[in-house]
Amino acid sequence: MYLTGVIITAVLLAAYCTLIVVYRYWFRKLPVFHLPKDIQPVNRFSVIIPARNEEAIIGSCLSSILQQNYPSELFELIVVNDHSTDNTEPIIRSLQKEYANLQLINLADHLNGELNSYKKKAIEIAIAHSQCEWIVTTDADCFAQPDWLRSIDALIQERQPVFVAAPVMFTNDGRFLSVFQVLDFISLQGITAASVSAGYHTMCNGANIAYRKDAFYKVDGFKHIDQLASGDDMLLMHKIKQAYPNRIAYLFGQEAIITTPPMPDWKSFLNQRIRWASKADKYRDRSIFWVLFLVYAANLGLLLLLLTSAFAEKGFQYWLLLIAVKTLIEMSFMATVAKFYKQEGALGWFPIMQPFHIIYTVVAGWLGKFGSYQWKGRKVH
């Protein structure tokens, strides 16, 4: 019985490793986008940030955007205050005295009753108030580099897309949990860069995307996905790709990286990953669904083999062999991705973190489908 489980898991793992090799091939083919020095900004951006109880970080976040190396007359920053109970709103109002292109919208002024996706509603309302042709979204706990908007503008001028996905990275404070999140997240970002550039998946992160406002309205915005708590990024991206084939671009440039702090504790981290996993079976891009299914099945198989290895002859040895293969294949991919994100120093932790990663993948995937989670002080289904 145990050997049957080993064979099934080995087959799943072989398919998974083949996929990782393909992602590595795609990623290595990606040319890094360098900001042209002589290009003149032309595109107008409405940067939208939903914010809920972010008093500790919102000032730094907004300053990193308001102080962009981009003409202030070509962009506006719209912050949607999502029922904050701390000093988020006063901090924003204080910055408004200094920056004329900063707007504040209170979500409470536009809602009657409760929602399951306050973030999508916040973005939708902000887009309705926006004055520019391009919508750019990020999060209230993120930081932009000085040439972030210039990079997006330059890519748009060069490739004429209607949707742009761009890189996001957790900062690394050296703690085990922080390193774990950095490695886990840059692996996802590496897959995103590789697959989007290859035209395969519609993957992105809402902390760093841009799309034309007319494209948003052409696909009816968040209609049919507005009941989901998550999905303001990838589900929207898929809708836009269906309407505009070959008009999706990935901005693979250092200047475009958005950074954000890691989750402070395991509970917050797990809630974040459950939230991400909650939309796994809602993807209309079925290629993503089957990839996620394969990843989950392979990790579930490895976890079950570990739990039952003590009851089978050489059981733990079989498990170690499979883990070794998985780790070596993943490391060949991670080494390339970590170089782009300048996180090579964290790779030494990667083999050690394998058991933690397997457990969290199985738990977060299960709870994302069958459980609920807490996010921003709200219980979400």
Q: Find residue 168's DSSP bridge partners.
A: 258
Q: Are residues 230 and 354 in the same domain?
A: no
What is the count of structural domains for the chain?
2
Q: Are residues 113 and 85 in the same domain?
A: yes
Q: Are residues 257 and 292 in the same domain?
A: no
Using alpha carbons only, give the angle 221, 48, 150 rounded to the nearest 5 degrees.
Answer: 110
End-to-end, the C-alpha distance of the chain in Å comes to 37
Q: Are residues 258 and 317 in the same domain?
A: no
Q: Are residues 301 and 170 in the same domain?
A: no
What pairing do the DSSP bridges indicate for beta strands 248-250 and 163-165? parallel
Q: Are residues 14 and 36 in the same domain?
A: no
Q: Are residues 105 and 20 in the same domain?
A: no
Task: List the one residue out of 86, 56, 20 whose CA is nearest residue 334.
Answer: 20
Is residue 270 included in any domain, yes or no? no
C-alpha to C-alpha distance for 117 and 354, rounded to whole angstroms: 33
Is residue 15 included in any domain, yes or no? yes
C-alpha to C-alpha distance for 170 and 259, rounded to whole angstroms: 6
Q: Are residues 117 and 191 in the same domain?
A: yes
Q: CB burial class (10 A; 0-12, 13-18, 19+) of residue 92?
A: buried
Is residue 14 included in any domain, yes or no? yes
Is residue 16 included in any domain, yes or no? yes
**3-state SS class at 298:** helix
Q: Are residues 158 and 231 in the same domain?
A: yes
Query: How confident is the model at residue 373, as a pLDDT?
Result: 53
Query: How confident is the model at residue 277, as a pLDDT?
Result: 78
Q: pLDDT (tens digit, 9 = 90+) per residue, 78-101? A: 999 999 999 999 999 999 999 999
Is residue 279 included in any domain, yes or no? no
Task: List the one residue out of 143, 153, 126 whose CA is nearest residue 48.
Answer: 126
Is residue 277 included in any domain, yes or no? no
C-alpha to C-alpha distance for 12 and 344, rounded to whole angstroms: 29
Is residue 274 included in any domain, yes or no? no
Q: Are residues 47 and 12 in the same domain?
A: no
Q: Model-level pTM?
A: 0.91
- Go through 282-311 and write b for each residue having 16 or more CB atoms within 10 A of its CB, e for each that does not: ebebeebeebbebbbbbbbbbbbbbeebee
Q: Are residues 106 and 237 in the same domain?
A: yes
Is residue 112 included in any domain, yes or no? yes
Using alpha carbons only, give the angle 113, 115, 121 rounded to the nearest 5 degrees.
Answer: 105
For 260, list phi and psi in degrees, rounded to 5: -150, 145
The 3 state secondary structure assigned to 16-43 is HHHHHHHHHHHHHHCCCCCCCCCCCCCC
Rg over CA atoms, the chain: 21
Domain that holds residue 293: 2-27+285-380
Give the pLDDT of the chain (381 residues) as one tens digit per residue: 788 888 999 999 999 999 999 999 999 999 999 999 889 999 999 999 999 999 999 999 999 999 999 999 999 999 999 999 999 999 999 999 999 999 999 999 988 766 667 899 999 999 999 999 999 999 999 999 999 999 999 999 999 999 999 999 999 988 999 999 999 999 999 999 999 999 998 899 999 999 999 999 999 998 887 777 667 899 999 999 999 999 999 999 999 999 999 999 988 888 888 877 777 666 777 888 899 999 999 999 999 998 888 778 887 898 999 999 999 999 999 999 999 999 999 999 999 999 999 999 998 888 877 666 555 665 655
Encoding tokens for residue 63?
């300053």
CATH number of 102's domain: 3.90.550.10
Q: Are residues 184 and 310 in the same domain?
A: no
